[in-house]
Amino acid sequence: MRLDRLLAQATGLSRKQAGIEIRKQRVTLDGEVVRDPGLRVPPDAAVRWRDEPVALAGPVYLMLNKPTGLVCARRDPIHATVLDLLPPDLAARVHIVGRLDRDTTGLLLLTDDGDWSHAVTSPRRGCAKAYVAELAEPLVAEAEACFAEGIVLRGEKRPTRPARLERLDDRRARVILHEGRYHQVRRMFAALGNRVLRLHRESVGGVVLDPELAPGRWRALSNEEIARLADCRARAEGEV
């Protein structure tokens, strides 16, 4: 990690302020004064600022209520991204754990812990994800059975893994998946001759989007939520 980024994240300084402090020779690396804000800091290096030890806080784990219109990417030439909702230094630190398309809203996870991220997203884990879909047409009578049996999506040969569809009303349904193919929920309904108008992710691995989080807002995950997601498995059918 660059020295100015480490100093900013560890102290609350802006990147610009951190650079000024470094150039004013107020930062040492393994006892030696350094003046290059772009210097790469080894993981085991001892950094001090104004003679006080500097260390990054522990890993970051966040939930964010994604609004529509934002893309899940670090940067995009056309659209704003979900990382634009975070303070710049925090946005530079974290990555997105499992993406949502631009028109899908709801629970999004972010972290700087690669092992934890892999535990949540690995296909072998089969982490359950729950969505609510609003549809253009009434659900067909056999919709539940089709989702439970698996559906061959357009352009693919292998059917989807068994999924649960819970009919909320004629044009609304909750879908629980244990995989994450490209635009999967939308494509599954398309295979049944329907179209998704709105799609909202409620939960991942049994961790539910905080109802107090307005669209575009975020908070840190609790220790229980972090542990639950780290141990994510395909849970009993019907668990959200």
| pLDDT the model gives residue 161 | 95
Nearest to 140 by CA among 97, 102, 190: 190
| pLDDT the model gives residue 9 | 76
| pLDDT the model gives residue 115 | 86
Q: Which positions are annotated as active-site residues?
A: 101
DSSP output for 97-133: ES---TTEEEEEEEES-HHHHHHHH-TTT---EEEEE
Average pLDDT, consecutive stretches of 10 residues, N- to C-terminus, the chain (240 residues)? 85 89 95 94 86 81 96 92 90 91 97 90 88 98 97 94 97 95 96 98 96 95 92 49
pTM of the model: 0.76
Domains of the chain listed by start with CATH number: 3-54 (3.10.290.10), 61-230 (3.30.2350.10)
- Say which residues have a Cβ less than 8 Å from residue 95's Cβ, sequence separation at least 6: 74, 110, 111, 112, 117
| pLDDT the model gives residue 57 | 67
**List of long-range contacts for 163-172, beta carbons under 8 Å, 24+ apart:** 163/188, 164/237, 164/238, 167/139, 167/143, 168/132, 170/138, 170/139, 171/134, 171/135, 171/136, 171/137, 171/138, 171/139, 172/132, 172/133, 172/134, 172/135
Report the distance separating Cα 206 and Cα 239, nearest Å: 7
